[in-house]
Amino acid sequence: MKLNRGALSAGAALLLAVGFRAMDVSAPTGLFSVRERVYQGVRWVCADELARHLKGSVGKDSVSSYPALLLGGRRILVSTASPMVSLDGQIVKMAHVPREAEGCLWLPEEFLTNVLPKALGGPVRILGEEAKPMVQVVPPVKSVAGSGQAVTVDTAVSADFVRITLAGEGVTGAEVTRSGREVLVRLRSGAFSAPAHELGRGIVERVAPDREGKVLRVDLGDRFKKLDILKLRNPERLVLAVKGESQQVPAPPPSGNAGPGLPPEPAASAPESPGTSFAKEMPVKTPALDVVVLDPGHGGGDTGAVAPGGRTEKDIALELSQRLVPLLEAQGLKVVLTRTEDSTVSLMQRTAIANFNQADLFLSIHLNASPAPGARGPEVYFMSRDATDLWASELASKENLEGQGTDTGSGLHLVLWEMAQTAFLVESAFLAETIQQNLNSILGTASRSVRQAPFAVLEGARMPAVLVEVAFLTHGDDLRKVNDPSFQEQVARGLAEAVAAFKERYENPAAPADVP
């Protein structure tokens, strides 16, 4: 996870060039007038001035370093990276991202109309159709949108489901037609920027753009059953959700497990690269917990967080995962890794690997980062449509963005939400709580607790799944520890013990549990 909030955005710089106007506001506390600036048709007010009128205050959150307002006795944590705030822990989305400039936190007008009523317990209205000028307004510089927007193509494959995600500006306006075993997606603007994907046999065989990049052809297999089309926004995506049965994927060459000194053995997975041979059989699901998928976060060009001195999240996550493999295998478990080297694996493909291997457990390993120097210790997450708090929501957004994952907002319904974690929340919560307690003991951070957030890498898992942020690379003591091989062994043992406790609960549901 990487966070970069230090630079002044171009929008904030342009905001400074705009003169003031007056805004009259009606609130449960009475009428008042604040200065505003109008930029790109949006009205902005300074949080300090708003707080003075409402007898509140503005400060900084100690964990996330985000601005925090106290208005009407309610605490409002404001993200300056995403269009959202947290009102007493409840996420409220807005249309625009608040900006920090000229020593002030600038809030968009919808903060007054959407957030303030919840904080003050009554309606808030901006009076007058037009703002009243106090000084001359300097028109903002117009941005020039680029032409020929590239549309990306991402695929995820499991035994009975193939998801094809097209992402790019204007993609939701594409025309989708189906004739027999062929689906065509015609763009109105832009061009597909992906090579052909050979997906195997059964549900979907091939996905390929034409020579001009204007039409994407999807070749359906003889075991195709149903096609659903979803249009998602922020960012804009068109999702083809293809259902069927017995998808056979291209078989990868044999590769070894990541545990030191272990003999190589074939690993069944759903690879991203084209192949010509196909897996003869799907892995068989058994009643026991016997298959665990470990997901070392990030990889390839996606470094994740970078610590002072250059150590990267992707490298440490892989080291921790490799140390965990032999400990899990000693429990009689088969372990599959989503990557065994410094390679790029998309977020959707990671859970596709777990689904294809009929995994009983999915464990994604990450390292954290924060602009707050005091932030330290482990954080363990399990899948939820709603985040526990703004920090959890922001962390999920960052992880999803860096891995080119899907947005997990209102579009997660129908087919996508069928693949989500709804059926496994209790089991995932138990595993997350057990891991959190073990890591708290190892790092000495008793105050850390389990959180929920809509991580894309957990979205499609059809088994209990958790994401572990082991420690903060931005905290000196945490960084020193995770660089120590003996500490990495401690963390691996803590994770292995949590899996063992989960396995006991999974296979003996009547057994007493120490963790609710």
Residue 16, pLDDT > 90, answer no
Q: What pLDDT band is residue 450 in, cutting at 50, 70 and 90?
A: low
Please determine, for residue 269, whether its predicted confidence score (pLDDT) is greater than 60.
Answer: no
Q: Do 311 and 442 belong together in one domain?
A: yes
- Residue 265 falls inside a structural domain: no
CA dihedral 195, 199, 203, 208 (to 10 degrees): 10
The full length of the chain comes to 516
pLDDT of residue 282: 52
pLDDT value at residue 426: 63
Q: Give the CATH number of the domain where residue 171 resides.
A: 2.60.40.3470
* Within-domain flag for 331: yes
Which pLDDT value is given to residue 324?
97
Residue-wise pLDDT tens digits, 281-337: 556 666 678 999 999 988 988 898 889 989 999 999 999 999 999 999 999 999 999
Q: Work out the average pLDDT over 64-78.
A: 82
- Answer yes or no: do 110 and 202 share one domain: no
Nearest CA among 29, 228, 242, 53 for reference residue 121: 29
**CA distance linking residue 489 with residue 442, whole number of Å:** 11
Range of the domain at 363: 291-507
Q: List 226's β-bridge partners, or say none.
A: 243
In the predicted structure, residue 164 carries a pLDDT above the cut 60 = yes
Is residue 286 situated within a structural domain?
no
Per-range mean pLDDT, top range of 71-85, 208-222, 248-262:
208-222
Q: What percent of the chain has pLDDT over 70?
A: 68
Nearest to 153 by CA among 212, 243, 216, 231: 216
Does the N-terminal peptide bond of residue 235 adopt cis geometry, omega within 30 degrees of 0? yes
Which of 244, 272, 302 is the last residue before a domain boundary?
244
For the chain, the average pLDDT equals 74
Tell me the C-alpha distance between 327 and 516, whole Å: 25
* Tens of pLDDT, residues 379-396: 887 755 443 344 444 444
Q: What is the pLDDT of residue 405?
A: 41
Are 108 and 173 within one domain?
no
The verdict on 328 and 474 lying in the same domain is yes
Q: 35 - beta bridge partners?
A: 22
Q: Between β-strands 361-368 and 465-472, what pairing exists: parallel, antiparallel or unpaired?
A: parallel
The residue out of 133, 161, 187 marking a domain boundary is 133
Cα 34 to Cα 213: distance, rounded to the nearest angstrom: 51
Q: What is the CATH number of the domain that holds 26?
A: 3.30.457.10
163/307 same-domain check: no
Residue 265 in contact with residue 336, Cβ under 8 Å?
Answer: no
What one-character DSSP code corresponds to residue 330?
T
One domain, residues 434 and 477: yes
In sequence order, what are the residues at sequence separation of 6 or more whose Cβ sits closer than 8 angstroms to the Cβ of residue 30? Answer: none
Is residue 515 scored above 60 in pLDDT? no
CA distance 144 to 38: 20
Going from the C-alpha of 51 to that of each of 59, 103, 396, 430, the distances in angstroms are: 11, 15, 30, 42
| Shared-domain flag, residues 52 and 97 | yes
Minimum mean pLDDT range among 72-76, 214-218, 230-234: 230-234
Q: Is the pLDDT of residue 168 over 90?
A: no
Give domain status of residue 222, yes or no.
yes
Q: Given 133, 161, 184, which residue is the final one in a domain?
A: 133
Are 496 and 388 members of one domain?
Answer: yes
Are 115 and 186 part of one and the same domain?
A: no
Q: Distance (Å, rounded) from C-alpha 391 to C-alpha 452?
A: 11
Q: Given pLDDT bands bounded at 50, 70 and 90, which one contains residue 456?
A: very low
Domain match, 87 and 178 both: no
Mean pLDDT along residues 78-93: 74
In a domain, 51, yes or no: yes
Distance CA 327, CA 493 (A): 7
Higher pLDDT, 98 or 425: 98
Q: What is the mean pLDDT of residues 362-377?
A: 86
Average pLDDT over residues 261-266: 31
Of 302-306, 322-326, 371-375, 403-407, minimum mean pLDDT range: 403-407
Element of type H or E holding 496:
helix 485-507
Is there a domain that residue 432 lies in?
Answer: yes
pLDDT at residue 255 is higher than 60: no
**For the CA atoms of 366, 338, 437, 398, what is the dihedral angle to 10 degrees?**
30
C-alpha to C-alpha distance for 430 and 361, rounded to whole angstroms: 12
Q: Do 169 and 119 share a structural domain? A: no
Are the beta carbons of 151 and 190 closer than 8 angstroms? yes
Residues 327 and 442 in one domain: yes
Q: Cα(285)–Cα(162) distance, rounded to whole angstroms?
A: 19
Residue 43, Cα to own-chain centre: how many angstroms?
30
Between 289 and 454, the more confident residue is 289
Is 499 a residue whose pLDDT tops 50? Answer: yes
> For 32, which DSSP code?
E
Q: Could you tell me if residue 269 is inside a domain? A: no
- What is the structure's pLDDT at 12? 46
Averaged pLDDT, 196-206: 87
| Identity of the highest mean pLDDT range in 65-69, 312-316, 340-344, 418-422 | 312-316
Is 142 inside a domain boundary?
Answer: no
Cα distance between residue 81 and residue 397, in whole Å = 10
- Any idea what the CATH number is for the domain that residue 375 is in? 3.40.630.40
Distance CA 52, CA 66 (A): 19
CA angle 300, 338, 400 (to 5 degrees): 65
Which residues, 6+ apart, have CB-to-CB distance to 146 below 8 Å?
none
- Provide the number of structural domains found in the chain: 3
